Amino acid sequence: MERTPVVSGWFSGDGDDFRLLGTRCRACGSVFFPRADAFCRNPSCDGTELDQTPLSRTGTVWSYTDSRYRPPAPYPCDPEAPWEPFTVLAVELAAERMVVLGQAAPDVTTADLAVGMAVELVPGVLHRDAERVWGTWHWRPTGVAV
């Protein structure tokens, strides 16, 4: 089944080409994620032309945690299935000088992580229901086999 992005326009590509998509202001060079398409949010810039720009594929762990309890709607999950905690990472991207959140790949627990560790972006599945596979982005320590 083909993956439907959980949000359209936030990421694209396959395998090593998978990237989060931000935008960059043509006037001041500021980068935005989630994307800003109409107006630059730098208060000293009047820019209105922003180009889509892929964000760095790799970064370092700024912090991490997990969700031991089921989040409420609209988090997509099967309420009948036993709850499996997921891990959340905040990842610092050096070139963009920003921190971006994301869930960890499903096999990654907080015990596998440390602040400052190198991680990479990989395509992931948020949820499968009868009609669709919802695609998202995941972070995973670099050099770990799929």
Q: Give residues in contact with another protein (CB under 8 A).
A: 6-7, 25, 28-34, 41-44, 62-69, 71-77, 86, 88, 90, 95-103, 110, 114-116, 126, 136
Is the link from the previous residue into 74 a cis peptide, with omega within 30 of 0? yes
Say which residues have a Cβ less than 8 Å from residue 126's Cβ, sequence separation at least 6.
6, 76, 103, 134, 135, 136
Q: Are 133 and 125 within 8 A, CB to CB?
A: yes
The least CB distance from residue 135 to another protein, in Å, is 11
Nearer to another protein, 34 or 145 (CB): 34
Q: Are 141 and 121 within 8 A, CB to CB?
A: no
Nearer to another protein, 19 or 62 (CB): 62
Query: What is the three-class DSSP state of 77?
Result: coil
Nearer to another protein, 73 or 145 (CB): 73
Nearer to another protein, 79 or 116 (CB): 116
The least CB distance from residue 145 to another protein, in Å, is 25
Terminal C-alpha separation, the chain: 19
Q: How far apart are alpha carbons 133 and 75 in whole angstroms?
A: 14
The least CB distance from residue 146 to another protein, in Å, is 22
The least CB distance from residue 126 to another protein, in Å, is 7
